[in-house]
């Protein structure tokens, strides 16, 4: 019997290059509810969401954009088989040295470059916090973030070449298509997006679209376990005067109730609750014509 292909478990971490670590520390701790710590070298902040020692890494950089997406595997054997598969598909894959693994707080890691200019890392063995150092949020009321086997959430990155990007994520990385949204924003202007999931089934861990803009990262989504924490975070952001990209609303494909707030780096965080988990045995791929079935109103531009 042929050996089944090794597959990514989940999106386990992201690395963001940011200009203003101080602004990010305030935003992440006081508004978003992350557990914020500093890295020893003083040039990075680490945002915790659960028992993992790091989920979102903020490294000092003028890029204000995504630098790396970290994809978790359930076993060391599966990671090695996946790296071999990537090489068979013609991809240049490099094994991370010990210093790199220590910085990412994982046991083993391989990496490659994305067609759109950021890095994908594939790893096994994330570092878990001691019981004496549990995840703590000073503002969340509920049971915390929805992570575990589903990973940290999802990223939506822009595609310089949409067809090439979709082919890379599907045929090379092995992500599975969840569905499509093609929305006509104005006569003749269509936003075309593809949503893809890993084997643990969060509706999408990566989406890509041909969206104009200066950044690779359109948004990072994090999910909370209780709906009240979405509303409370929304109220905190409004009270703090943080620009809102999209107000409270609901997506038809992943059925997420969420809002989109501008981070200190200019891209958005989608903060949501209620996303669905895909069962590949029964899932049917479809196409939608609207990004949102209600809400998600855009903030009107401020008169100049």
Same domain, 207 and 94: no
- At residue 189, the pLDDT reads 78
How far apart, in whole angstroms, are the C-alpha atoms of residue 293 and residue 92?
41
Same domain, 33 and 118: yes
Same domain, 155 and 267: yes
How far apart, in whole angstroms, are the C-alpha atoms of residue 168 and residue 114?
8
Domain count, the chain: 2
Q: Is residue 196 exposed (0-12), middle (13-18) or buried (19+ Cβ within 10 Å)?
A: buried
| Residue range of the domain that includes 185 | 148-295
Q: Where are the beta strands (DSSP E) in 150-237?
A: 154-158, 176-186, 189-197, 206-209, 217-223
165 belongs to a structural domain: yes
**41-99: pLDDT as tens digits:** 778 999 999 999 999 999 999 999 999 999 999 999 999 999 999 999 999 999 999 99
Same domain, 152 and 287: yes
CATH number of the domain that residue 118 is part of: 3.10.180.10
274-293 mean pLDDT: 97
* Domain stops at, among 126, 156, 188: 126
How far apart, in whole angstroms, are the C-alpha atoms of residue 107 and residue 100?
10
Measured CA to CA in angstroms, residue 170 lies from 27, 81, 217, 221, 257 at distances of: 34, 17, 19, 21, 27
How far apart, in whole angstroms, are the C-alpha atoms of residue 55 and residue 106?
11
**83-109: pLDDT as tens digits:** 999 999 999 999 999 999 999 999 999
Q: Which residue has the higher pLDDT, 186 or 228?
A: 228
What global pTM score does this model have?
0.95
Same domain, 65 and 184: no
62 belongs to a structural domain: yes
């Amino acid at each position: 019997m042929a050996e089944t292909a090794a597959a990514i478990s989940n999106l386990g971490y992201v690395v963001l290059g940011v200009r203003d670590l101080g602004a990010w520390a305030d935003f992440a701790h006081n508004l978003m509810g992350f557990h914020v710590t500093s890295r020893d070298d003083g040039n990075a902040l680490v945002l915790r969401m659960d028992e993992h020692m790091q989920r979102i890494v903020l490294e000092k950089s003028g890029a204000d954009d995504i630098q790396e997406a970290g994809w978790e595997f359930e076993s060391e054997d599966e990671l090695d088989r996946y790296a071999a598969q990537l090489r068979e598909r013609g991809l240049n894959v490099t094994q991370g040295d010990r210093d790199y693994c220590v910085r990412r707080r994982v046991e083993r890691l391989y990496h490659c470059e994305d067609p759109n200019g950021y890095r994908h890392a594939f790893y096994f063995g994330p570092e878990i916090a001691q019981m004496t150092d549990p995840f703590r949020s000073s503002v969340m009321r509920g049971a915390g973030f929805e992570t575990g086997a589903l990973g940290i959430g999802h990223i939506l990155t822009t595609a310089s070449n949409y067809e090439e990007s979709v082919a890379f994520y599907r045929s090379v990385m092995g992500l599975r298509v969840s569905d499509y949204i093609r929305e006509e924003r104005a006569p003749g202007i269509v936003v075309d997006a593809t949503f893809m999931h890993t084997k643990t089934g969060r509706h999408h861990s990566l989406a890509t679209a041909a969206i104009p803009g200066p950044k690779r990262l359109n948004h990072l989504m994090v999910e909370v376990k209780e709906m009240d924490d979405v509303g409370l975070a929304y109220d905190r952001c409004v009270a703090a005067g943080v620009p809102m990209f999209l107000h409270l609303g609901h997506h038809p494909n992943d059925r997420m109730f969420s809002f989109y707030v501008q981070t200190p780096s200019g891209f958005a965080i989608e903060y949501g609750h209620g996303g669905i988990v895909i069962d590949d045995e029964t899932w049917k791929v479809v196409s939608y014509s609207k990004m949102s079935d209600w809400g998600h109103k855009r903030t009107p531009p401020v008169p100049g």
